Amino acid sequence: MASGVKPRVKAPKTAAAGEAVTLKTLISHTMESGQRKDSSGNTIPRSIINRFTCDFNGQNVIDVTLEPAISTNPYFEFIATVPEAGDFKFTWYDDDGSVYEDVQSVAIA
């Protein structure tokens, strides 16, 4: 069970219709690979974020599968076109079954 997990998103509050905006996301997470051993030689169980998605008004923007080699605090930056006012919904799926969510509203300027 990962502790101290906190998603952070940076998205613009407003955009022009049809504008491509940059979205930045980061989730603080240890991303334990499952390959390491502790001081007494036991394998530290894998605990990573295994999937990240972003939807805009229910339509999928990006869907990422994360693998164990990805470092601590995975960061994604991507560009999405905003056709209308609405909500970006960001979702992170943890190995332990937890799901972390964040929503950012974008208005049309």
Partner 1 sequence: MTRANKTKGLVAAAIAALVALPVVADENAKLIVNDEIEMITEAPAPDHMENMTIIRSGWTFRTKETQALQMDDFENPGMPAVDAAMDAWNTVEGTAGKACATCHEGPESMKGVRAVYPKWNEAAGEVRTLTMQINDCRTTNMGAEEWKYIAPEMVAMEALISMQSRGMPVNVAIDGPVQATWEQGKELYYTRFGQLELSCANCHEDNYDNLIRADHLSQGHINGFPVYRLKNTRLNAVHDRFRGCIRDTRGETFSVGSPEFVALELYVASRGNGLSVEGPSVRN
User: Residues in the site for partner 1, rule: CB under 8 A?
Assistant: 4, 6, 8, 10, 24, 26, 28, 72-73
**Under 8 Å between Cβ of 66 and 51:** yes
Least CB distance to partner 1 at residue 7 (A):
11
CB closer to partner 1 out of 28 and 57: 28
Nearest partner of 96 among 32, 17, 7, 16, judged by Cα: 32
Please identify, using beta-carbon distances, which residue of 83 and 100 lies nearer to partner 1. 100
Give dist(CA 88, CA 24) in Å, integer. 12
Report in angstroms how near the CB of residue 58 gets to partner 1 at its nearest.
26
Query: What's the min distance (Å) between Cβ of 10 and partner 1?
Result: 4
Q: With 0-12 CB in 10 A as exposed, 13-18 as middle and 19+ as buried, what is 48?
A: buried
- The least CB distance from residue 84 to partner 1, in Å, is 25
Shorter beta-carbon distance to partner 1: residue 22 or 43: 22
Contact 86, 57 (CB under 8 A): yes
Q: How far is it, in rounded angstroms, from Cα 7 to Cα 28?
A: 6
Closer CB to partner 1, residue 57 or residue 73? 73
